[in-house]
Chains A and B, each alone.
Chain A
């Protein structure tokens, strides 16, 4: 075995929280209508939903005055503006809602609601952005605010959460009230003055005492975001990722649905089965969809629902729903007459659907008709009309986005045509290999910080890491590479050090990046030198 040379150990300093939130959730508090002079169209729920949908297709009404916006699917679109994305969103909110609004941007919807309520209570307006989980770093602003959060604010947000839990069958109102009452009594009895004082309490212990909904709310407040807790099993489809898959089933997300969506339908004269036969009809229908009066040329599509009517050999009629999904907001009008991008995505979804649902040895059913519905899109602010139908043109709301150097429009358009996503990595400050980057095309890389001193660590590391590390045997061909520290504050372990070696497997002659448990002596292969 190789000897350990005298090398300096990697810094023990805790990492600074990233300046960009991993999720993109904005809670927006708007003033309730107070004077009759205010324009009723722009202050109605529907009007406000339309305004919010010019920022993202995913909007939820949290309470009478609070709206939740999931910016994640549209962030890449706003990243194309010349400004930093946060400034772009701030500018758009100002254009849409004037000066009197309070908004909070964090990595979790619940934390956004808490923070926006906290800001509103202190009469603070504008957009506040807080990265990362609360309380990660004792010096962070997020942690300070989390410490200042009062029980009154927390319970106020809890009251608004109740109806959503009930609507999504995650809790019953009577039980929720009883559990909340128990916890309120306990906090008074135990002298807990603020939630922040007890941020070290585990969500599971609260869940045991006061029920699952309160435990979950506590986890959302102080725990790791559920977005990062990938579920076990196979990787979810991109469509599911865009429909808040990472939030799990616990957060009661209820999207605001517009009453009227652009839609067209077709009844085929002759049933069809082959893609080559049905694609010309689909192309014509996409053109018809563009002609819908409520679908403006400036709008961008994210999801088209393709509802197929199928007839099997027994002449039974069945319905099938296929989702035509766009990785980035896509302009259907710009591809009018061709619809290359949409047809490719439709083909991928069509092939996947028929491959998954039908045995290849049996003739699949024929298609007798379909309907196309534009389910999700970024609305153009022109949709916001006054009571008399006049269209408002918002200042600084040009639909023509300027090019961003890091992700040109050509690449975005190309990615929209692929069956699988292209992966883009951005480095962040962390010495642990698997934590030293984020994979997202939607982050503004200029806002991530990375130090060259940490970059040097990568020189001795392999090009590939194993998704599932496996035990391996130490052989004579073993060279020490580096000694690092574990994250002792977040992952309690017996030792706080890890040694990494280059191990040459005696059978395959492969060069493995392996670590050795200092106590048990067991070897674990974590990477492979390319």
Chain B
């Protein structure tokens, strides 16, 4: 099992703090990048569904690589699964390995309908970390099922959206996974500002919390050669 960050002690006398305390009491999966883990109050929630808006093709998936590297390098054999749906794209394994990921414990699957084709995966506790990358065919019921199974089997499941998520409000149309994802985040790229900037030439990645943590933003400088 990955190392856990102990939950912060919180007084439960005030009903308004119960929700926050519940959120913090969830075991967290740290990325190993202190600034990011602090921002996420320990990391990603374990045994829960996290929804992450990150448009494909902007280098935003780089932010997930530390989690994958950390999990595959641990002595306990954590099995990881990355499900993607782009028919015109192929995995480039050497790039994943170069980011510190041990390919021995990582499996990939290509399908636009993960639950239709891979349902037994979500019924067994073998895979501890599952990334569902931009699924095309994913209903409300699918979200509910994935969130329930993640809780039951203590799987950390990430649902990556190919667009930025919007906060839930009365004016915006309801998005299916709003109520099922414990944590909702957005990530987008900050283009480089000037050739002399510290962020040139790769710029940085913005991380924004939408749900599950107080709303705020973090800018991570992106250095591809150092993975983050």
Interface residues of A (CB under 8 A from B): 2, 344, 405-406, 408, 410-411, 414, 417-427, 433, 436-437, 445, 454-468, 479, 508-512, 527-530
Binds A, one of B9-17, B117-125, B175-183: B117-125
Residues of chain A within 8 A (CB-CB) of B120 are 344, 414, 417-418
Q: How many A-B residue pairs have CB under 8 A?
A: 135
Residues of chain A within 8 A (CB-CB) of B87 are 467
**Given A414-B126, A459-B99; A427-B59 close (CB under 8 Å):** no
Q: Please indicate which of the listed interface residues A406, A414, A427, A509 has the most CB atoms of chain B within 10 Å of its own CB.
A: A414
Closest A residue, CB atoms, query B192: A477
Instruction: Determine whether the beta carbon of A437 is less than 8 Å from that of B93.
Output: yes
Nearest Cβ on chain A to B140's Cβ, whole angstroms: 22
Instruction: Determine whether the beta carbon of B104 is less than 8 Å from that of A411.
Output: no
Interface residues of B (CB under 8 A from A): 56-62, 77, 79, 81, 84, 86-99, 103-104, 107-111, 116-118, 120-121, 124, 126, 201, 224-225, 227
Closest B residue, CB atoms, query A505: B57
Residues of chain B within 8 A (CB-CB) of A512 are 57
> Top 10 closest A-B pairs, CB basis?
A458-B98, A530-B61, A510-B57, A425-B93, A458-B94, A422-B107, A417-B120, A461-B95, A437-B93, A423-B108
Closest A residue, CB atoms, query B160: A530
Interface of B is mostly: mixed
Q: Which of B77, B90, B126, B201 contacts A466 (CB 8 A)?
A: B90
Selected A-B contacts with CB under 8 Å, 22 pairs: A406-B104, A420-B118, A422-B107, A423-B91, A423-B107, A425-B91, A427-B94, A433-B95, A437-B93, A455-B98, A458-B96, A463-B61, A463-B91, A463-B92, A463-B95, A465-B91, A466-B88, A466-B89, A509-B58, A511-B58, A529-B57, A529-B59
Instruction: Determine whether the beta carbon of A411 is less than 8 Å from that of B95.
Output: no
Residues of chain A within 8 A (CB-CB) of B124 are 410, 414
Q: Which of B79, B81, B94, B227 contacts A455 (CB 8 A)?
A: B94
Instruction: Determine whether the beta carbon of B90 is less than 8 Å from that of A464.
Output: yes
Residues of chain B within 8 A (CB-CB) of A411 are 79, 126
Q: Which of A344, A421, A423, A427 contacts B97 (CB 8 A)?
A: A427
Nearest Cβ on chain A to B128's Cβ, whole angstroms: 13
Q: Please indicate which of the listed interface residues A2, A423, A455, A456 has the most CB atoms of chain B within 10 Å of its own CB.
A: A423
Residues of chain B within 8 A (CB-CB) of A417 are 120
Given A422-B108, A463-B62, A528-B56; 16 other pairs, CB 8 A cutoff: A414-B124, A414-B126, A423-B110, A424-B107, A436-B93, A437-B94, A454-B94, A458-B94, A458-B98, A459-B98, A460-B224, A461-B98, A464-B90, A466-B89, A509-B58, A529-B57
